[in-house]
Amino acid sequence: MTMEQQAQPSRWKQRMLKLLYYLVGFFALVLIMDNLVMPWYTKHGKEYELPDITELPVEQAIDILKQNGFTPVIQDSVYDSDLPPGTVLRQNPLPFSTVKKGRRVYLVVSIGEKPVIMPNLVGLTPQDAKFRLTEEALQLNRTFYDFSEYYPKGVVIAQSVPPGDTLRKGQSVNITVSLGPPPEAQKVPSLKGKSLIAAKKELEVLGIPLGRIDYQYRPDLVPETVVAQSIPAGTPVVEADSINLVVSTDRLPEEETPQSNQEP
């Protein structure tokens, strides 16, 4: 056997030993990385409970998170009718989750109740205007009346809050309703056939005091319909110190009330 043939097994053994050393070193490195380096890098075993900062003012919530070693991030701001503006609604991760120090905590913050946009009521009837306000969670407060040359009688001609303004839910709004065109040259209007309420409003707008109200039995008319007025229609308003009205009623005068037949 030549010397070259004798040296070949020796080289093979050396290579096997070297490969074995490499394998042992590799597994040793894996064990060191897994048990020492990675736990240190990821802070394994050092996890903390995340505090509950929901329903707190966002400034206070941020301070608490920072003091506990977390990183607060405001993710979104949304409308909410239950919590006031600037209050934390939600957090991610959830309260009491186990997380590592430095973990980002995403916050959703309330910007308060969604405002209501004031609708345009001009041109609507008072009933439709009230319904429209109710749809927007608003309330009709007072109804005023005034003459208008541009809008027919019985429709809204003005509103206390301009269209497009923002309001809170439940807020009250006043409206003004047209009484129709104003009397020509400020003359006393014809009140006959109108309701007592409408007559009072027309006189109030003209600045004419209402005098005495007499009632007349008129079963053919709706109760409290004006039957007559003391100053004729067309009289200049400046000549009317006050106006007396005769109004219908469906109740008989007491002295004319029929007596029931009774046995003597």
Task: Note the pLDDT of residue 33.
Answer: 64
Contact between 155 and 178 under an 8 Å Cβ cutoff? The reply is yes
Tell which CATH classification among 3.40.50.11540, 3.30.10.20, 1.10.10.2840, 1.20.120.420 matches the domain 185-255.
3.30.10.20
The CATH topology of domain 116-178 is: Trypsin Inhibitor V; Chain A (3.30.10)
**Residue appearing with tokens 């903390």:** 48
Neighbours of 167 (CB within 10 A): 17
The CATH topology of domain 47-110 is: Trypsin Inhibitor V; Chain A (3.30.10)
Query: DSSP secondary-structure letter at 219?
Result: T
How far out from the chain centre does Cα 142 lie? Answer: 21
Q: What are the structural domain ranges in the chain?
A: 47-110, 116-178, 185-255
Equal CATH topology for 116-178 and 185-255: yes
Report CA torsion sign: 225, 201, 207, 149.
Answer: negative
| Nearest alpha-carbon partner for 195 in 242, 237, 145, 235 | 145
**pLDDT tens sequence across 118-154:** 999 999 999 999 999 999 999 999 999 998 888 988 9
Query: DSSP secondary-structure letter at 16?
Result: H
3-state secondary structure of 132: helix
Indicate the range of 24-33, 38-47, 108-117, 222-231 predicted with least confidence: 38-47
By DSSP bridging, strand 98-100 and strand 47-49 are antiparallel
Q: Which amino acid is at 167?
A: L
CA–CA separation, 163 vs 116, rounded Å?
Answer: 11
Please state the rounded mean pLDDT for residues 82-92.
94
Confidence of residue 234 (pLDDT cuts 50, 70, 90): confident
Does the pTM exceed 0.85?
A: no
Task: Note the pLDDT of residue 53.
Answer: 94
Q: Is the pLDDT of residue 168 over 70?
A: yes
**pLDDT tens sequence across 21-80:** 677 776 666 666 666 555 555 555 578 899 999 999 999 999 999 999 999 999 999 998
DSSP string, 161-211: S-TT-EE-TT-EEEEEEE--SPPGGGBPPP-TTSBHHHHHHHHHHHTPPEE
